[in-house]
Structure 1
């Protein structure tokens, strides 16, 4: 009795299909479950642990292989492994509706967590509860994109929430220490820096520092006189009693306190995290590198129980 054994068949189990369309043709590769995302995230580097077989298919389910001519036309190479890597990088992972929903829910909760950690209610300076952010995003019909980075989507979510609820990025607390003769110039340049950021939030640090440099040259003679006054007035210990708000709101910078003690001065700032590099460059430029900028708190919020009247 003869038994027919198809030796040219390879049974694939636990298959995750990655599909890509190019030059009017469909190409698929067979991968292991959960390994595709690990490969794209960089946590898996062994291609053999990702691909079930280094072969390009026209249809994995039917076992139809893609022709060598189509592979070369679409990917510029006849090497199956190289074509598989391109499909793995650019292709779309085929998952069931249930798996897709689980992944989207996980991504959504991750974004909500990031938004909660990075923002506060500007009216109370307290972070929002996770449930409030989650409901606000659902009401705003925020669309989750599974292939995009969670941090980028969290920033987009913050912009969307500003249209419906009072929310802003939590500010950082920074301490600036410099010579008292630079005191007034530092405050003036920080104010100019924040005005520039308020009118042009997308400006880069290089442009801000160049503008600050031009302002320094224009006001050089004027500031020399002010520096002399500051130096003479700092012979005794001095502490300002009035806060000097440079700006308020998201992207703002506020001087929480400033103190001149002899020839040294200390300025405590509340700044948006996006301004930290620009503040450092501005201070060091004014003080000719003879200053220090230290971050005291990554997130300045009000703690304790809130009293509801």
Structure 2
């Protein structure tokens, strides 16, 4: 390195004429013969064109592999790409888990870096973890093959089925399976999507949900002896909201889509009537009804006769529903 002390060959000393000695003290001009640094192979990494416009190495490992491949006469040699997978986030903020609502489609993107010149098969494993409710994915689980072309990416979609079960739906996991034709990305080669339930308890603590849309919900409760009015309380973000009514039902408006709400009802003496939790629908998701079911028995019969029962839904849903 050229410096005021000549050509530096080791810290503190120079080779050539200098006005400093090795200690850095000024004491006239001297010619110092420092220790040479032996340099072996010098790698001249020249800029080269990328193999693919979509190739964007993200880690030092990927950069090193690409530079080694393109700078030592191996431009035409087969390059073993890195395989990775990412979930479609749909506007969900970084750091939050990606999720869909039952009945929607989980979307994953499988990538190869750099992109292959010809379609290359990537093996993935689709797994459902947690939850025991029927979401219609049984025939889509297990090992799958995805063809990734010159674009460098391919999408794999897993549709789910809506159900009327209030249980946990769990989540879907997609993981890249090792293969000699590619290497797993250092990012892990796996992605997860939660499958949220849009079903609410029909009756919870004497308070129930009757109807839900993407921005509103109607709740109802049992009349309390001696109560003349009721107070309904819920959270909007972290701020509590309150409405009063003399009836036994209320429509909540201005709600956020795909958001869980906890609602409590109090009577005018501040006695707790009950509470309920529900999930609003996705934007444009229409409306969902949760009628209260009651059953009455018909007239008595003798042996050999047919017993009859009548199941009634209130309020009446616009479409037929299956009662278990």
- Structure showing the higher helix proportion among its residues: 1
Structure scoring higher RCO (CA < 8 A, sep ≥ 6) equals 1
**Is TM > 0.5 for Structure 1 vs Structure 2?**
no
- What TM-score comes out, normalization by structure 1 length? 0.25
- What TM-score comes out, normalization by structure 2 length? 0.24
